Structure 1
């Protein structure tokens, strides 16, 4: 009887020990759902388009998240479709490449449950010239290249209007705005729509070009050398997006806190010159 009790006690102790070991094997795996511990994500797969925004992830965001105990993996994309689909299906945890208007429209059109976390400093569109040094020096009849896709075309025309170079119809739908909606063109500028990615190359053969910030940077252009940069509307600033299901997660809170930090803004000031800061940053 004594041996039976002793054997039972040994088995009970062994089971308690195994249970304790098993209880320590929680969380910590890549892709598990924020900061170190508590079943939250320890690894964040961050999608971004190749260029300035993948640089922003690696230089300005990743180091701050690593200080919080995360491992950050960058996944680069070369189009504007796959980053949102990868986010929705869980292949990545966050992305950075698009403004809020595009995000909302894409999510609606494709029935994706994704949303923004916070806006970030964004490369503004600009008017560039190798011929003229100021807006006042632009000659009548000058040829100007402009993006031919609806989104960038409308944005370009509104920017030129804000500079006083043209006037477009009042109450026109921004989604369909084109050079046909110009009602006043005091310098008789000639417009030549081309693919947005090729706009920087046109400066060798045309007097002026309106170039979106990401394409200007990809071509090695200096944003600060533009004749004038756009006064960017908040809804054109790029945002970090996540799955809606993760909106209250610890990693989403830590991500937002990292972007709102003084260290993040310091990196932007030092390495992303010419980027337009969102109102939450300029007003703090």
Structure 2
């Protein structure tokens, strides 16, 4: 989470803790109405970040046009959001990108899938010291988001720029410094919590930021030393329990989200600037 982000927040909850979350999700996710699978209410949980809250409120209006009510709740914790869907307390959750969802399912034996793509929040490496990625000196320090579902991103960007070479076939979600097989400039990568990444730019040679995060602190995305390639981007998704992605409810939710109204809100949430991109 992110950003933003619970879907970019660190997955440090233990298996036991997550199990307790799933068991107790019904009591934790209060405010959602009950109802059968054939009713006209879509139980929806999202993170309490402005972008998600803004688009969820617009989504509620769009869902109504399809004959449904969006019963939504904002929650901070990413694993708790996923646990609500795992337990059946919620129909869908909106807070994470695909890589985070993949990591969650792998780490916690989850059964969630992306019902559809929401938006892309491009990322890049930024610097207050250097104008070009090729200017990075010997021993350069590059900061990364320590969350395993995001940590790999600077590695791939540095590899694409030709500054390091990674072990062939390495799984992005498991990349560490040990997977660097060539590093002629002895570049060091330091993982940091999401909230610390902007401040770290004062000391690091280069640092990872999402486009939305850069915009929040007044950095123009066009000034990035290098940006993530399209094939390596991980779109934010709306996730459901496997088997529910083709239900009438979720198809109505998809049509409502992938609308002009949501496109407009994605721009409005950043003061009229196109920071995040519709992923449909």
Q: TM-score, normalised by structure 2?
A: 0.72
Judging changes above 3 Å, is the alpha-carbon distance between structure 1 residues 78 and 66 closer, same or farther for their aligned structure 2 residues?
same
Corresponding position of 2:40: 41
Corresponding position of 1:202: 200
Judging changes above 3 Å, is the alpha-carbon distance between structure 1 residues 223 and 89 closer, same or farther for their aligned structure 2 residues?
farther
Which secondary structure state, in structure 2, belongs to the residue aligned with residue 263 of structure 1?
Answer: helix
Are positions 1:32 and 2:30 aligned together?
A: no
Rg (Cα) greater in structure = 1
What is the count of residue pairs matched by the alignment?
246
Corresponding position of 1:168: 166
Per-residue CA deviations over 1:129-159 (Å, capped at 9, x if unaligned) read 1223333444444322223343322232012
CA distance in 2, matches of 1:182, 1:93: 41
Which secondary structure state, in structure 2, belongs to the residue aligned with residue 246 of structure 1?
Answer: coil
Answer whether contact 2:53 2:74 (CA < 8 A) is retained: no
**Post-superposition offset of 1:83:** 0.8
CA distance in 1, matches of 2:243, 2:182: 48
Structure 2 unmatched runs, 5+: 1-31
**Post-superposition offset of 1:164:** 2.6
Answer whether contact 2:212 2:276 (CA < 8 A) is retained: no
Q: TM-score, normalised by structure 1?
A: 0.71
Q: Give the structure with the larger helix fraction.
A: 1
Corresponding position of 2:85: 87
Per-residue CA deviations over 1:57-95 (Å, capped at 9, x if unaligned) read 335533322333433343223222111111122322211
CA distance in 2, matches of 1:109, 1:143: 29
CA distance in 2, matches of 1:49, 1:225: 29
Once the two structures are overlaid, the 10-residue window that deviates more, 140-149 or 105-114, is 105-114
Are positions 1:70 and 2:71 aligned together?
A: no
Structure 1 unmatched runs, 5+: 1-28
CA distance in 2, matches of 1:79, 1:163: 35
Corresponding position of 1:275: 276
Judging changes above 3 Å, is the alpha-carbon distance between structure 1 residues 132 and 51 closer, same or farther for their aligned structure 2 residues?
farther
Q: RMSD of the alignment, in Å?
A: 3.2
